[in-house]
A and B are shown apart, each in its own frame.
Chain A
Amino acid sequence: MTVPTLSAEETPARGGPGHGVRASSPRTSLTRILVYVFLTVAAFLWLVPILYALYTALRPISDTNQHGYFSIAHQLSLTNFKTAWVGGDLPHFFANTLLITLPAMCFALLFASLVAFVVSRYSFRFNVSLLVLFTAGNLLPQQALIAPLFHIYTSISLPFTLSSSGRLYDSYWGVIAIDATFQLGFCAFVLSNFMKTIPKELHEAAMVDGASVWTQYWRVIMPLCRPALAALATLEFAWIYNDFFWALFLMSSGDKRPITSALQNLQGGMFTNNNLIAAASLLVAVPTLAVFFALQKQFISGLTLGATKS
């Protein structure tokens, strides 16, 4: 198997050759048409939930009350988005999300790269066990950890400048900590795989120059890891943004929650108004969708880095 497929999308599908040989036979043309039709229909069905949400969100409640939801819109406007944005206090929750997601991402990547560096550049006997420990930690069900975590969190005091509750519980740092730690394993694994592909010569050159371990890490290896870090960063952003569980149970203040956990709050206030639900869902979906569309390559390469292994 090949090296971790960073450029999976850059290389055109190499399943071509066998196919190209028979391009001209009618059986294959029919197959091709069928394939296209199937894919197009499937893709359309796939988009229905999002398209329907968009459609419903753009229709004012008066329009849907009058004509029903499954009808041609007589009016389109952005009022639902405005109402959801203001009424659902979305800017506040988005701010919370940033406050939690960005530091958590940075810590996860930082810690993971430290571990990956040590484990991939040096042959210590505990290397594999370490990676196993970290990776397994990533795969555990969150519910198995919550009761002890709660007690640990409520016992650790923080000064009020760091946490308005005075404890790790119900504080941003608490959620950042568990988010970062929970993602550590996957990132460490992917980064260590990636670092192993960095030629040893580069590393040895630095050693010859008498570079300390830290310099090797920070000045030699890390810059070379930029593609992998970029890929992981996009993935981690999406995963931490999408986390529902930790903030729900480790934060008791409704207004400190990040947007995904805050969906639980929005449920109560908006249940009768489908248009608002649609608008709110789309607004919440925008950040991850935006990151996805802008950085699709990185996103997918991050996933595949983790899956394929040399």
Chain B
Amino acid sequence: MTSSSPAVGTKAGSLPRRPRGRRRISYFTKRDKLVLTVMIGIPLLFDLVLIWFPVLLTTIFSFTSWDGLGTMFKLPFNGTENFQAIATTNPDFWPAVQHNLIWIGVFLVVATPFGIFLAVLLDRNIRGTRVYQSIFFMPVVLSLALIGFMWQLIYAPDNGLLNSVLGRTDPNNTINWLGNPSINLWAVLVAASWRQAGYVMVLYLAGLKGVDPGLREAAALDGAGAWATFRHVVFPTLKPINIVILVVTLIESLRAFDIAYIVNGGRNGLQLLSTLITNNIGSEASRIGYGSALAMILLVVTLVPICTYLYQTFSKDVR
């Protein structure tokens, strides 16, 4: 649509020409139309039914006090009561918001810049760059749940690697990395950043490879050092990639769930909006209405980076 100029003068909504023998404008055959409909229709159906319809339902549920039982058609609506309760009486809500913000902060200030830094370093023609890249990227192919599971070996209070190295394995003197609510979020964030940095690195490397070498040469000729070149020449041209990375970072931070859940079910210092939702919905409590209200909050907040991403990605396509 956008990449190559149309061979024939196609306009938005027009049909491609299909000359058959004698030149005439032909439309799609009936069969073609059916095929096209099915081609779009089936995936669309799945997407609507399994994703967008649930989004609608969650919105509706969030204004009820439903407990998940009985029919969906006689929902006990209770207006904005859930939201009020969440904001005022839920002792875990504001801590969860805080933790999500900390998650975003650490990713934005530590993990992502570190990934960019690695990308910049590895973009040079140094020996072994492929080996380094593979090493830094390895955690990305592991799931965060597995990472949480594995890092227990490091964080175990009495015989974990970290405490052994620090000499704090005596029961009276241990640092309880995962059990102490003042530090466990940071401990988990280290493990998550371990993965995030590699992910950012690869995306950025790809972007860097696309930078026109001429730009760099010009900057070098002007006497700019490496840092200045990066800051004033390279970084600005990578604006699309920068936005993608920013958005990806935000979305991953808001979606964080697996690692907190597997460490302690999302309690005691690891409360996140996502775990609050599952503690209310996917638990014996079955507070579907209340949990859906929490889900709405998460959804609305996540829509900000999502819309930014969509705008950035698709705005050029909208004529």
Q: Do A and B come from one complex?
A: yes
Which A residues form the contact surface with B (CB < 8 A)? 1-2, 5, 8-9, 11-22, 31-32, 35-36, 38-39, 42-43, 46-50, 52-53, 56, 64, 68-70, 111-112, 114-115, 117-118, 120-125, 127-128, 130-137, 139-149, 151-152, 177-178, 180-182, 184-185, 188-189, 196-197, 199-201, 204, 207-208, 210, 212-214, 217, 238, 241-245, 248-249, 260-261, 263-264, 266-267, 274, 277-278, 280-281, 284-285, 288-289, 291-293, 296, 299-300, 303-304, 307-310
Grouping DSSP codes into helix (H, G, I), strand (E, B) and loop, the A interface class, with mixed when no group exceeds half, is helix
Tell me if A307 and B207 are in contact (CB < 8 A). yes
Tell me if A143 and B124 are in contact (CB < 8 A). no
Known interface pairs A141-B274, A148-B61, A284-B146. Does A207 touch B47 (Cβ–Cβ under 8 Å)? Answer: no
B window 32-51: CB within 8 A of A: 32, 35-36, 39-40, 42-44, 46-47, 49-51
Tell me if B52 and A137 are in contact (CB < 8 A). yes
Residues of B within 8 A of A118 (CB): 36, 39-40
23 A-B residue pairs with Cβ-Cβ distance under 8 Å, sorted by A, are: A16-B124, A18-B216, A38-B121, A47-B135, A50-B150, A68-B169, A70-B164, A123-B14, A128-B317, A132-B310, A140-B55, A142-B257, A143-B295, A151-B72, A178-B50, A184-B47, A185-B47, A245-B258, A280-B149, A289-B141, A303-B203, A303-B206, A304-B202
Q: For the complex, give the distance between the alpha carbons of A133 and B91 in Å.
A: 36
Tell me if B143 and A244 are in contact (CB < 8 A). yes
Tell me if B209 and A8 are in contact (CB < 8 A). yes
The 0/1 profile, CB within 8 Å of A marked 1, for residues 42-70 of chain B is 11101101111111011001000000100
The answer to the question of B299 belonging to the interface, with a C-beta cut-off of 8 Å to chain A, is: yes
Tell me if B40 and A115 are in contact (CB < 8 A). yes
What are the 6 A-B residue pairs with the smallest beta carbon separation, nearest first?
Answer: A242-B143, A70-B164, A304-B206, A148-B57, A148-B54, A111-B43
Q: What's the minimum C-beta distance from B63 to chain A, rounded to whole angstroms?
A: 13
- B35, B52, B132, B143: the one within 8 Å of A133 (CB): B52
Tell me if A17 and B213 are in contact (CB < 8 A). yes
Residues of A within 8 A of B313 (CB): 135, 189, 309
Tell me if B298 and A141 are in contact (CB < 8 A). yes
Tell me if A141 and B7 are in contact (CB < 8 A). no
B window 99-140: CB within 8 A of A: 118, 121-126, 129-132, 134-139
The total of chain B residues at the interface (CB under 8 A) is 129
The answer to the question of B249 belonging to the interface, with a C-beta cut-off of 8 Å to chain A, is: no
> Could you list 14 further interchain pairs (A-B, Cβ under 8 angstroms) beyond the known A8-B209, A243-B143?
A2-B210, A35-B126, A111-B42, A115-B39, A115-B44, A123-B10, A123-B16, A133-B47, A143-B298, A151-B72, A152-B54, A184-B46, A260-B146, A288-B143
Known interface pairs A131-B314, A244-B258, A292-B138. Does A199 touch B4 (Cβ–Cβ under 8 Å)? Answer: yes
Which B residues form the contact surface with A (CB < 8 A)? 1-4, 6-7, 10-20, 28-29, 31-32, 35-36, 39-40, 42-44, 46-47, 49-55, 57-58, 61, 68, 72, 118, 121-126, 129-132, 134-139, 141-146, 149-154, 156, 159-161, 164-165, 169, 191, 194, 199, 202-203, 205-211, 213, 216-217, 219-220, 226, 229, 240-241, 244-245, 251, 254-255, 257-258, 261-262, 273-274, 277-278, 281-282, 288, 291-292, 295-296, 298-299, 302, 306, 309-310, 313-314, 317-318
Q: For the complex, give the distance between the alpha carbons of A21 and B244 in Å.
A: 32
Between B123, B149, B217, the greatest number of chain A beta carbons within 10 A of the residue's beta carbon is seen for B149
Q: What's the minimum C-beta distance from B41 to chain A, rounded to whole angstroms?
A: 9
B204's nearest neighbour on chain A, judged by CB, is A307
Q: What's the minimum C-beta distance from A223 to chain B, rounded to whole angstroms?
A: 17
Tell me if A11 and B209 are in contact (CB < 8 A). yes
Residues of A within 8 A of B139 (CB): 46, 49
Known interface pairs A118-B39, A242-B142. Does A39 touch B122 (Cβ–Cβ under 8 Å)? Answer: yes
Residues of B within 8 A of A36 (CB): 126
- B49, B130, B309: the one within 8 Å of A139 (CB): B309
Tell me if A144 and B210 are in contact (CB < 8 A). no
Tell me if B135 and A143 are in contact (CB < 8 A). no
- A38, A136, A147, A204: the one within 8 Å of B61 (CB): A147
A-B contacts counted at CB < 8 A amount to 362
Residues of B within 8 A of A210 (CB): 18, 20
Q: What's the minimum C-beta distance from B286 to chain A, rounded to whole angstroms?
A: 9
Known interface pairs A135-B310, A148-B53. Does A117 touch B39 (Cβ–Cβ under 8 Å)? Answer: yes
Q: What's the minimum C-beta distance from B212 to chain A, rounded to whole angstroms?
A: 9
Q: What's the minimum C-beta distance from A281 to chain B, rounded to whole angstroms?
A: 4
Q: What's the minimum C-beta distance from B15 to chain A, rounded to whole angstroms?
A: 8
Tell me if A147 and B143 are in contact (CB < 8 A). no
Q: What's the minimum C-beta distance from A2 to chain B, rounded to whole angstroms?
A: 5
Tell me if B1 and A120 are in contact (CB < 8 A). yes
Tell me if B126 and A277 are in contact (CB < 8 A). no
Q: For the complex, give the distance between the alpha carbons of A11 and B206 in Å.
A: 11
Known interface pairs A118-B39, A137-B47, A289-B141. Does A267 touch B262 (Cβ–Cβ under 8 Å)? Answer: yes
Q: For the complex, give the distance between the alpha carbons of A148 and B61 in Å.
A: 9
B15's nearest neighbour on chain A, judged by CB, is A122
Q: For the complex, give the distance between the alpha carbons of A128 and B262 in Å.
A: 38
Tell me if B281 and A260 are in contact (CB < 8 A). no
- B3, B40, B216: the one within 8 Å of A197 (CB): B3
Tell me if B203 and A310 are in contact (CB < 8 A). no
Tell me if B46 and A249 are in contact (CB < 8 A). no
Residues of B within 8 A of A146 (CB): 277-278, 281-282
Known interface pairs A49-B194, A52-B161, A148-B61. Does A13 touch B125 (Cβ–Cβ under 8 Å)? Answer: yes
